[in-house]
Amino acid sequence: TPLSPQTRAARVRVGKGDKLVTYEQAHPPHYIGHRKGWLSLHTGNLCGEAGAAQRAVEDAFLRRFLHGTFPGLLADAAVLKRRGNLLVICALLGRALPPHKLYFLQGYAETLLGHFYKCPVRLELQTVPARVPYKYL
């Protein structure tokens, strides 16, 4: 079967009007740098800098790990920042779990990821009452 002329990368297709879409999901990737920001901030992709592949693999693992430790709680994609050795993960969560369980999961994630990647990991969580809709598609 031939390819369709439209690109389908990171785009949410129009539906009946009941699908909630956040600002992050609504904008296709050619808006990065114009209407969107970067989700993963590191120096691997700059001219003359190395380590892009390692960072990409780490990012993929971290996003799956977060998807698993906070099942059904992630309101939006997590932002990963690397400052020197320190890895800062900023995530938005929903309010399904009581706070003491969230604190436990935060400490668990920080220590486990610190042991995995041999670097200090800081998890900054914020709870929102519900996902913030930008559009309904």
Q: Which residues bind other proteins (CB under 8 A)?
A: 2-3, 7, 9, 33, 37-38, 41-43, 45-49, 81-83, 88
Residue nearer to other proteins on the CB measure, 27 or 105:
27
- Shortest distance in whole angstroms from residue 43 CB to other proteins: 4
Residue nearer to other proteins on the CB measure, 49 or 57:
49
Residue nearer to other proteins on the CB measure, 7 or 101:
7
- Shortest distance in whole angstroms from residue 30 CB to other proteins: 10
Q: CA 30 to CA 33: how far, in whole Å?
A: 8
Residue nearer to other proteins on the CB measure, 48 or 129:
48
Cβ 44 vs Cβ 57: under 8 Å: no
Q: What angle do CA 120, 129, 91 make, to 5 degrees?
A: 20
- Shortest distance in whole angstroms from residue 25 CB to other proteins: 20
- Shortest distance in whole angstroms from residue 124 CB to other proteins: 13
